[in-house]
Structure 1
Amino acid sequence: MGQTAFLETAQGRRLAYRKTKGRGPTIVFLGGLKSDMEGTKAVHLEAWAQAQGRAFLRFDYSGHGESSQKFEETCIGDWHEDTLEVIDRLCDGPIVPVGSSMGGWQALLLARARAGRIHGMVTIAAAPDFTEDGYVASFTDLQKQTLDTVGQIELPSDYMEPYIITKRLIEDGRARLVLRDPLELPFPVRCLQGTADTAVTTDTALRLLEHATCDDMRLLLVKDADHRFSDGPCLGLIEQAVSEVLGAV
C-alpha cells in the first residue's frame, strides 16, 4: 500500500493522498460527502488494484480526513478544484474515476473538465446535484430563512454527527449542476445503485442514466443494498464494474 503524502494546491490547500504504482489507466477513487480515503470501498479497491498490478490513487478532499480546512469552510467547487489538482499533478495518462455518492457528482464534473483523460468511469450511488435536488428541495421555510440569515443550518446524519450545511455550499452547488444541461460521457460508464439506499434514490440513478449522452452506459440496481454499498457482494460488484471499463475499448 502507498504511504500517505501531501499535495499543496494552487489554492493553498493541503491534500492527503495515497498512491500505488502500477500499469495504467490509473484508478482514482472519489469519496463521498464527509467520507475519507480510509473508507471500506477506497481501501478495498486499493488492495484489489495492487493485486492486479494496477495504478491507484485515493485522497481526501479539503475539509475531509487528513487534508486541510474545516468541512464547513469548503464546497462542491473546492472539491472539484482538489480533484483537478490531484488528476493533473499526480496521474499520468488515462484515468478511471470511481465516484461514490458525492464523488459521483465530482466524477461527472471531472468528465466536463477532463473528458480526454478518462478511459472509463464507475459510479456508486452517485449523487449529482444533491445540494439542490436533495437539500434545497426538502428544506422547510424556517430552514431556508435560517440559511439565509445565519449562513448555515444543521442536518441530521444516519452515519455521524450532524452535517453543517452552509449557504456557500448551496450556492456553489447551484452553479455546478450537471443534470440541467447536456452531459456528454464519451467513454464506458458503469453505475451501481442499491434499492435500499435512503440517501440516494433509484430515481436519481435513473435520471442520470436517461440524461447523459453515452454509447456504453449501464446501471445495475442491487436489491436491498444500502448507501454504503460496502458488504462483500457489493465490493465484488465494484471490482467487476472497474474491470469492465478497464477492459473496454
Structure 2
Amino acid sequence: MTAPDFFKGSENRQLAYHRTPGKGPWIVFLGGLKSDMEGTKALHLEAWARAQGRAFLRFDYSGHGQSTGTFEEGCIGDWAEDSFNIIQELTDGMIVPVGSSMGGWQALLLARRIPERIKGVVTIAAAPDFTEDGYWAGFTQAQKTQLKTDGRIEIPSDYMEPYVITWRMIKDGRKQLVLRSPLALPFPVRCLQGTADTAVSTQTALRLLEHAVCPDMRLTLVKDADHRFSDAPCLDLIEAAVTDIVSITT
C-alpha cells in the first residue's frame, strides 16, 4: 500500500487521498460510512481507470481511514464539505462521482451543489437520508431519549464493530436530506443494488428512482448481491456503469 498525499480541508482537517492524472472526466470514488479508500471497489476502479488512462481520485473523509479526526466527531455535512473541497481543488472539468452506500448520498449532495461539473453519477447501494429513515426511524423511544441526553448511542453493524451514532449526526443529517424536496439530476445516473443487501433495501433504491427528476436514470438489481457489492460480477457491473456514463456524448 503506497503512502497517500494529504489535502488540507475545512477546519484544518487533513484528508488522505490518491490521485491518478489522466483523460477526463475525472472518476471520483466516494466511500461509505466508516469505510476507507483502500476497499475492494475503490482499488478495483482505480486499477481499471489506470488501464483506461482515465483520471481518478479516491480519498478518505475526515474521521475515516488515514485522514485526521475521529468518526464520532463527524457528520454528513462535514463529509460533504470534505468531498466538495477536495474535488474542487484536485480535479478539473467534468467529474463522475461513484458513490457507495453513504457515498451515494454524498454523490447526490454534490449533484445538487455543482450540477454543472457532473458528467453523470454511479451509485452502489446508495443510502440517501439514512440518518433519518434508517437510524432515527428505527430507534426505540428509549434510544431516542438516550441520544438526546447522552449525545450518542452505539448500534450494531453487520459488517464491522458497532457504530457510534451522535445526536449531532442526526440533527445535521436533517439539513442534508435529498428525498424530501425536488431532486434534479440533469445528467445520466446509473444505480446498482443487491437484493440481499441487509443495510440498504431495494425499496430505498426504488424510492430514489421514483423521486429524482432525471432524463436518463436506470436501476440495476442484482439477485443475491449483498451490501459489499464486491465480487467479480458486481465489480464488472460497476465498470460497465462507469463506462456507460463516460461514453455518453452531449
Q: TM-score range by the shorter chain?
A: over 0.9
5+ residue gaps, structure 2: none
Residue deviations 1:113-156 (CA, integer Å, cap 9, x gap): 11000001100000000000000110011100100100000000
Residue matched to 1:55:
55
The answer as to whether partners of 1:132 and 1:170 remain within 8 angstroms in 2 is: yes
Q: Which amino acid aligns with 2:5?
A: A
- Secondary structure in 1 matching 2:173: helix
- Secondary structure in 2 matching 1:122: strand
User: TM-score, normalising length from structure 1?
Assistant: 0.99
- Secondary structure in 2 matching 1:51: helix
Q: Which amino acid aligns with 1:13?
A: R
Q: Matched residues in 2 for 1:52 and 1:169: separation?
A: 38
Q: Which amino acid aligns with 2:91?
A: C
| Count of residues in Structure 1 that have an aligned counterpart in Structure 2 | 249
Distance 1:20 1:182, change over 3 A: same
The answer as to whether partners of 2:132 and 2:174 remain within 8 angstroms in 1 is: yes
Q: Which amino acid aligns with 1:94?
A: M
- Secondary structure in 1 matching 2:12: coil
Mapping 1:182-193, distance limit 5 Å? 182-193=182-193
Question: Deviation of residue 248 (structure 1)?
Answer: 1.1
The answer as to whether partners of 1:2 and 1:20 remain within 8 angstroms in 2 is: no
Q: Matched residues in 2 for 1:98 and 1:3: separation?
A: 23
* Pair 1:33-2:49 in alignment: no
Residue matched to 2:10:
10
Question: Deviation of residue 9 (structure 1)?
Answer: 1.2
Question: Deviation of residue 11 (structure 1)?
Answer: 2.2
Mapping 1:85-96, distance limit 5 Å? 85-96=85-96
5+ residue gaps, structure 1: none
Using the aligned pairs only, state the percent identity. 71
Residue matched to 2:201:
201
Q: Matched residues in 1 for 2:61 and 2:55: separation?
A: 20
**Runs (4+) off by over 2 Å:** none
Residue matched to 1:130:
130
* Pair 1:169-2:178 in alignment: no
Residue deviations 1:52-110 (CA, integer Å, cap 9, x gap): 00000000000000001100000000000000011100001100000000000000000
Q: Matched residues in 2 for 1:160 and 1:95: separation?
A: 31
The answer as to whether partners of 2:64 and 2:70 remain within 8 angstroms in 1 is: yes
Residue matched to 1:118:
118
